[in-house]
Amino acid sequence: MPAPRPAFFTSEFLAQLERLSLLSRRIFRGRVKGERRSLRRGHSVEFCDYRAYGVGDDLRYVDWNIYGRLDRLHVKLFVDEEDLCLHLIVDASASMSFGTPSKLQCAARIAAALGFVGLVNLERVGVGVLRERIAEGWPPTRGRNQVTGLVDFLAAVRPAGGTSLNEALANYAARSRQTGLAVVISDLLDPAGYEAGVRALLERRFDVHLVHVLALEEMNPELAGDLRLIDSETGEMRELSMDGDAVRAYRERLRQYLDRVETFCRTKEIGYHRMTSDSPVEPFVLAQLRGRVVA
């Protein structure tokens, strides 16, 4: 089994990931046969059930033994196995450089962990890197031997440029040849919002999960005095005085913002997961996403 670089994962964590598999709330028709049991009925080698014959059914699947005993036509049903396409969509705009470790480092490790689970289960896994648009990508690929390539690709991504989540996500949705499970990992810090882009994924029938990564300093700022703040993406500069009232106002606006994100995801039936970039990725993937993105 190819091993990701030690800076990303321990062998113990990899062993735990190997016991997991990807789940989706929707049924997708895979391009090739995989190890996934679909809820659809197909014609693989594993028998599942019978149903009454209907006009147009393939006569090759009629059970003639049942017909001889009951004088009624029934066709055999089989479990259909197919692969799932996992789309890992990572925000790599300049704002993702904030935090210790940075939000992008956290996002890349989450994406690598989920991608590992997909690849060892013979699912197709692809990566899209978001900035003002889809800047680069790792085309959907399958197979255990792709793990090192995936991890190396994610480790090499650097934060740069502005953010246009709506345009970038809509572009990704439009150009994707195969839909599937889309995991968007972002700080969502875009004045224009992210909702239209996420809706574009939903309209293409992606099963969307949103991993919201924020820095600890953004969740709980410890600033005081007269400050000059510079936007990392636009260069815009603002001067302000931080006192107790200003910190309280910030925290209230942050609470309202997070509530809006959660409400949007809940109403659109989007899986929503939030973490700070300093939190360990391993328990987050194993516990917080268990039963949603992985199980």
Is 73 part of a structural domain of the chain? yes
Residues 56 and 21 in one domain: no
Residue 203: which CATH number? 3.40.50.410
pLDDT of residue 93: 95
* Lowest mean pLDDT across 86-90, 101-105, 140-144, 291-295: 291-295
Q: What is the pLDDT of residue 56?
A: 66
Within a domain: residue 188?
Answer: yes
Q: Is the pLDDT of residue 151 over 70?
A: yes
178 in the same domain as 72: no
Banded pLDDT at 42 (limits 50, 70, 90): very low
pLDDT band, very low/low/confident/very high, at 46 (cuts 50, 70, 90): low
- Rounded Cα distance between 92 and 107, Å, is 9
Give residue 31's pLDDT: 44
8 phi and psi angles, rounded to 5 deg = -90, -50
pLDDT of 105 above 50? yes
Same domain, yes or no, for 63 and 205? no
Q: Model confidence at 263, in pLDDT bands (50, 70, 90)?
A: very high
Residue 47: per-residue pLDDT: 54
Q: Which of 82, 1, 80 is nearest to 35 (CA)?
A: 82
Q: What is the mean pLDDT of residues 230-257?
A: 88
Q: In the chain, what percentage of residues exceed pLDDT 90?
A: 53
Q: Is residue 173 a part of any domain in this protein?
A: yes
Residue with tokens 């014959």: 53
31 occurs within a structural domain: no
Q: If you average pLDDT over residues 102-127, what whole number do you get?
A: 94
Same structural domain for residues 199 and 139?
yes
143: left (phi over 0), alpha (psi -120 to 50) or beta: left
Instruction: Provide the 10 A C-beta neighbour count for residue 129.
Output: 25
Same domain, 132 and 277: yes
The number of distinct structural domains making up the chain is 2
Co-location of 48 and 168 in the same domain: no
Which pLDDT value is given to residue 199?
A: 97
pLDDT tens string 73-96: 877 765 444 568 999 999 999 999
This prediction's pTM: 0.79
How many angstroms separate the Cα of 129 from the Cα of each of 17, 124, 173, 249? 23, 17, 13, 33
Query: What is the distance in angstroms between the CA of the first residue and the CA of the last residue of the chain?
Result: 21
190 in the same domain as 45 = no
Domain match, 46 and 184 both? no
The confidence score (pLDDT) of residue 32 equals 43
The predicted pLDDT at position 174 comes to 92
pLDDT grade for 66, boundaries at 50, 70 and 90: confident
- Domain extent, residue 217, equals 11-26+83-288
Q: How confident is the model at residue 288 (pLDDT cuts 50, 70, 90)?
A: low
